[in-house]
């Protein structure tokens, strides 16, 4: 049994008076339709990933400071310092929730159970996070456009 693709048309089905330009146009149209169909499939598969990212941005957590510095405190300028350093605060007892961080950074709310001074110091620490540090991915996802 011989299978043919949609581009393979037997000579009998092709009109005799069809110009070569018309045949090329038909093939180009078919190719464009295939590309369009592939593009639609890609959009369908990407969108759930975007929705998942929006949800995970609010449920992610940021340790302050990162776990390798768990015995350190946060100075009011966001630096990590030794315990009981002047103008520093004991770190939060658990990682900060992404939704709380978003609200604090966007609306100026304090973290539950912490003063506005502690919150300001923690936020300065978070804003200094760089690639490779714990919490950076969460912080970056909160900064992405569309995370209202």
pLDDT band for 46, please (50, 70, 90 cuts). very low
Residues 115-147 have pLDDT tens digits of 999 999 999 999 999 998 988 989 988 887 654
How far apart CA 108 and CA 147 sit, in angstroms, is 16
pLDDT band for 113, please (50, 70, 90 cuts). very high
Helices (H), 5-148: 20-59, 98-107, 116-127, 136-143
How far apart CA 39 and CA 51 sit, in angstroms, is 19
How far apart CA 136 and CA 128 sit, in angstroms, is 9
**For residue 65, cis peptide bond before it (omega within 30 degrees of 0):** yes
Q: What is the three-class DSSP state of 89?
A: strand
Predicted TM-score of the model (pTM): 0.61
């Amino acid at each position: 049994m011989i299978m043919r693709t949609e581009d393979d048309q037997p000579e009998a089905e092709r009109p005799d008076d069809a110009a070569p330009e018309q045949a090329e146009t038909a093939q180009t149209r078919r190719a464009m339709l295939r590309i369009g169909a592939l593009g639609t499939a890609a959009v369908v598969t990407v969108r759930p990933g975007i929705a998942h990212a929006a949800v995970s941005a609010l449920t992610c957590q940021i340790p302050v400071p990162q776990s390798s510095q768990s015995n350190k405190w946060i100075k009011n300028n966001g630096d990590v310092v030794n315990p009981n350093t002047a103008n520093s605060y004991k770190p939060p007892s658990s990682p900060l929730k992404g939704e709380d961080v978003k609200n604090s950074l966007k609306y100026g709310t304090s973290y539950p159970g912490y003063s506005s001074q502690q919150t300001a110091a923690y936020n300065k620490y978070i804003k200094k996070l760089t690639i490779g540090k714990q919490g950076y991915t969460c912080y970056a996802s909160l900064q992405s456009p569309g995370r209202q």
